[in-house]
Amino acid sequence: MDINEGDEEGFYNQNQQEDFEDGQYAPGTMINIEGVEAQVLKQFEDEDGQEGLIVQTAEGPALINIETGVINMLEDEQLYNILEELGATDVIQA
């Protein structure tokens, strides 16, 4: 995938790592979703099979549905609760 092209959801991955399959986003990867620059904190799949990304944007943390491209901004407490539920609180830097 050409990093300037984007995939079918309009995502492009500025530093795609070869050891990650297409469609997977490594923590720390910088992405652009519809003009919003974001750093990937965690990629996950919920109990309904929906894939999502937890990212950090200039405006704060956000939850992105990969399939629909919907971006939901999160409060810090919401972010922590989601990461705790996913068992990924190590993502949070002190």
Q: Bigger pLDDT: 22 or 24? A: 24
Residue 92: pLDDT band with limits 50, 70, 90: low
- Token look-up 């609180």 returns 89
Kindly provide the residue ranges of all beta strands, DSSP E only, lying in the chain, ordered along the sequence: 11-13, 30-33, 36-45, 51-57, 60-65, 71-73
Q: Of 8, 9, 28, 7, give the one whose Cα is nearest residue 17.
A: 28
pLDDT tens-digit map of 25-50: 888 999 887 788 899 998 988 888 88
pTM recorded for the entire structure? 0.65
CA–CA distance, 58 with 4 (Å, rounded to integer): 21
Per-residue pLDDT at 72 exceeds 80: yes
If you average pLDDT over residues 80-92, what whole number do you get? 72
If you average pLDDT over residues 69-86, what whole number do you get? 85
Cβ neighbours around 28 below 10 Å, total: 10
* CA-CA-CA-CA torsion sign (28, 33, 38, 43): negative
Question: Residues 51, 43: contact at Cβ < 8 Å?
Answer: yes
Residue 40: its pLDDT value, please?
Answer: 92
Residue 68: its pLDDT value, please?
Answer: 83
